[in-house]
């Protein structure tokens, strides 16, 4: 079982500080770095620098950012690095219209990476909120056909909903996402931006999130699957300290 933590690369200084803080938790053996255009630090550069801190480092790659007409532009970089895993996402259109994007799908980038870097372990994203379950499952199968090795999900907030996806993805390597929500503003964001339907007992409190998180970890452990911590608007070390503390 693997425990992955997502850390946002706002700057080298803050990233290094957060890495040192989460390194105290021995369970965390995998690092995920999203590639966010509003920051200067690129995901693959961050993972290259920090790979000695974790068993596995996984940079996120936005498919729409790469001109794939002549292959994958980062092939040489990855050949010379020791990074052996990536997470491919399609990517949202940038707010800065001067940033060039391309009409690529996740599947196209997955196929090219698998062709040019066959040793690379390629993960893809599951967004269980973006569309109907039927369409998302079809998209998951398309990514598997393209050669993907496993998946990272959006965070879950409902154990019953988690059960449904776990049943559908038996036999597939999955990192099941969880993210704390500590305010009504954050709850509203997930409801309006990502179409999340929260369970009736949900409360945007630290207590509810810790209780739910522990229950979810037990469920994932029972299946020998993996956990994906996404402390998007929370202090990572504080969140993990309470979540992973022994009773």
- pLDDT (tens digit, 0 to 9) for every residue of the chain, 247 residues total? 999 999 999 999 999 999 999 999 999 999 999 999 999 999 999 999 999 999 999 999 999 999 999 999 999 999 999 999 999 999 988 888 788 999 999 999 999 999 999 999 999 999 999 999 999 999 999 999 999 999 999 999 999 999 999 999 999 999 999 999 999 999 999 999 999 999 999 999 999 999 999 999 999 999 999 999 999 888 899 999 999 986 5
Helices and strands (H, E) in the chain, number of each type? 9, 8
Specify burial of residue 186 (Cβ count, 10 A radius: 0-12, 13-18, 19+): middle
Q: E-assigned strands of 7-120?
A: 28-33, 56-62, 85-89
At residue 108, the pLDDT reads 97
What angle in degrees, to the nearest 10, is found between the helix axes of 12-22 and 43-50? 50
Q: How far apart are CA 125 and CA 123, in angstroms?
A: 7
CB 204 within 8 A of CB 187: yes
Rounded (10°) CA dihedral 73, 78, 81, 84: 160
């Amino acid at each position: 079982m693997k425990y992955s933590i997502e850390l946002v690369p706002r700057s080298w200084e803050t990233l290094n500080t957060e890495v040192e803080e989460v390194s105290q938790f021995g369970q965390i053996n995998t690092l995920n770095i999203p590639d966010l255009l509003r920051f200067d630090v690129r995901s693959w550069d961050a993972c290259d620098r920090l790979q000695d801190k974790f068993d596995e480092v996984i940079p996120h790659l936005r498919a729409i950012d790469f001109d794939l007409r002549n292959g994958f532009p980062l092939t040489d970089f990855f050949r010379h690095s020791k990074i052996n895993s990536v997470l491919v996402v399609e990517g949202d259109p940038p707010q800065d219209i001067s940033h060039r994007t391309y009409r690529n799908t996740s599947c196209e980038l997955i196929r090219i990476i698998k062709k040019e870097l066959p040793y690379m372990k390629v993960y893809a994203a599951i967004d269980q909120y973006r569309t109907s379950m039927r369409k998302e499952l079809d998209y998951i199968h398309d990514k598997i056909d393209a050669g993907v090795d496993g998946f990272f999900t959006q965070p879950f907030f409902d154990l019953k909903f988690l059960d449904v996806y776990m049943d559908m993805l038996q036999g597939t390597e999955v990192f099941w996402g969880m993210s704390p929500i500590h305010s009504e503003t954050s709850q509203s964001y997930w409801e309006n931006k990502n179409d999340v339907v929260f369970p009736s007992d949900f409360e945007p409190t630290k207590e509810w999130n810790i209780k739910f998180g522990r229950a979810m970890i037990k469920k994932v452990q029972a299946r020998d699957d993996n956990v994906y911590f996404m402390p998007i608007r929370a202090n990572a070390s504080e969140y993990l300290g309470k979540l992973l503390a022994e009773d």
